[in-house]
Structure 1
Amino acid sequence: MRTLLALLLLWTTSSLAEHPVLRFSVAESWGMPLARIEGDQPVEGLVYDLMQAMAREVGVRPEFHVMARLRLQEAMDSGDIDVRCYVSTQWFNDRPGDFVWSIPLIHQRDLLVGRVGDSAPMPPEQLPPQAIGTVLGYTYATLQPLLDQGRLRREDSRSQLLVLQKLQAGRYRHAVSNQLSLQWFNQAQPADRQLQTLAVLEEQDLGCMVRNDPAIPTQGLLRALVRMKQSGEIERIVQRYGGTGYGDNISVARP
């Protein structure tokens, strides 16, 4: 029996070793529903499931590198990661030369958020001077002119969840959140404690970036994402994490 178990262990180890490793980046600022991180490794979440599905499609072993958002570009430039997901072309001034973009996978909205009864829907230009909850390392193009003028001041937190928790606790009156994170946060709150959308600030199509390197199956990954999008698998992953009605219109103020 011990010999059989040893052979099975050897076979399993050998099988894993035969699969090439694909290095995925994970931003430590992500919280649920994007990813839950334990012991410096993601263990569940929308983007985690997406990356796992990509790896299965092309027969590679995923390796997750959790890092600060401000280090992601450095990791791409130095060749430390192979795939970066949940990213928009709008976030780059220049096209990353060593990476190839996937098709758009998820449509994201960045929202101006407030507490129930604290303020009515309004464009950000009508906000009085104040601090606003933001995520460290994130850029907010719509709000940047107001930040430059000093009418708004950033109060950064290390994750989107912390931004929403501080808003609910009254640390500031308004914050910025992506729609998926807001929906996830509100699911656990009673109706009178749920945060409300006041304005749509920005909308982006998010996808993945894959290193253009002969050592990894770049084109195979890009084709896999096309198949996953066309089959509805990506939409099912989004819905699994509370993205109900994610494609619906939101009738609130726009800038």
Structure 2
Amino acid sequence: MRWVLSLLLLYVGHLPANELPPLRFAIAESWAMPLVRIENNQPVDGIMFDLMTALAARLQRRPEFHVLARLRLQAAMERGSVDIRCFVMPSWLGGQSGNFTWSLPLFEQRDWLVARHPETTPATLSDLPSQTIGTVLGYRYATLQSEFDNAHFARDDARNQQQVLQKLQAGRYHYAVSSQLSLDWFNRSQPPDRRLMPVALLEEQALSCYVRNDPEVPTQSILRELLVMKMSGEIERIVQHHTGRHLGDLNTGNAISQ
């Protein structure tokens, strides 16, 4: 967003020569638009790029982005090579080690079972025939995990959510898992007869950021500014800018049980 970059330049222009250390943000290479667009291994656009850039500007720090494989993100936080990781929840991390502080929930994410054509919603996952499901490499899907464990379903992993949906549209499998944001972004560029359909709601998640507790990192200031951005509606406006949707919007669909 131009206003975010202008704000950042304004702050940076007032920093002394020996400026404060940068804020080092973790970026998952598996993210796709509208979360982030990555070019030459650096984010250049998207919800998370705008949020992180705006946060750094508020703290008069330079943002530094580290694009990493999803499975390397937590290790990077624990060894101190990055300071902030966002769009995540504690249950994803398992046995988290290290000294971190979590923000309040900033985003609501809804994961859907998606198909190319309208399908009858199964009462339970086990009602679906044994088959391959499109997934993102390194993502854990709690609702589907037992079906993967007993081999009722097999994973077909792609590097990011965009590739998962492209493979579904190409007929590589009958179903895939997609977040609401990614599904909306994919469908906006498709003609009506090629748009993918949400079949069943798998999970709703409240996602946050967490920050390293370290003297070099202004942890409490970061958390305070994230709270201000959330309560003032700034995060909501960033999401709307990239999607045209509110955080709480929900496509029609039915919940599915395990």
Counterpart of 2:156?
Answer: 155
Deviation at 1:16, TM superposition (A): 6.3
Q: In 2 relative to 1, CA 47–14 (structure 1 residues): closer, same or farther, beyond 3 Å? A: closer
8 Å Cα contact 2:201-2:253 kept in structure 1: no
Q: Which of these two proteins has the greater Rg computed from alpha carbons?
A: 1
Q: Distance in 2 between matches of 1:60 and 1:39?
A: 23
What value does the CA root-mean-square deviation take over the aligned residues?
A: 1.8
Does the CA contact (< 8 Å) of 1:116 and 1:192 recur in 2?
Answer: no
Which residues of structure 1 form unaligned runs of 5+?
1-10
The runs of 5 or more residues in structure 2 that have no matched partner are 1-11
What are the within-5 Å matches in structure 2 for residues 60-75 of structure 1? Answer: 60-75=61-76
**Residues 2-59 of structure 1: CA distance to partner in whole angstroms, max 9, x if unpaired?**
xxxxxxxxx9697465132111000101110000000010000001111111111111
Match of 1:121 in 2: 121
8 A contact 1:104–1:207 mirrored in 2: yes
Read off the aligned partner of 2:170 and give its amino acid letter. A
Q: Which residue of 2 aligns with 1:254?
A: 256
The answer as to whether partners of 2:36 and 2:43 remain within 8 angstroms in 1 is yes
1 CA distance for matches of 2:244 and 2:140?
A: 23
User: 2:3 corresponds to which residue?
Assistant: none
SS at match of 2:26: strand
DSSP 3-state at the match of 1:216: coil
Normalised TM-score (structure 2):
0.90
Partner residue, 2:107: 106
User: How many pairs align?
Assistant: 244
**Does the Cα contact within 8 Å between 2:202 and 2:255 map onto a contact in 1?**
no
Please name the residue that 2:81 is paired with: 80
Whether 1:177 aligns to 2:165 is: no
| Structure 2 CA distance for aligned equivalents of residues 97 and 12 of structure 1 | 35
SS in 2 for 1:97: coil
Tell me the secondary structure at the aligned position of residue 227 of structure 2. helix
Q: 1: CA distance between counterparts of 2:45 and 2:17?
A: 21
1:238 aligns with 2:256: no
Asked if residue 218 in structure 1 is aligned to residue 219 in structure 2, the reply is yes
Q: Hey, what's the Cα distance between the residues in 1 that align with 2:161 and 2:231?
A: 30
Q: Using the alignment, how far apart are the partners of 1:85 and 1:12 within structure 2?
A: 27
State, as a whole percentage, how many aligned pairs show the same letter: 55
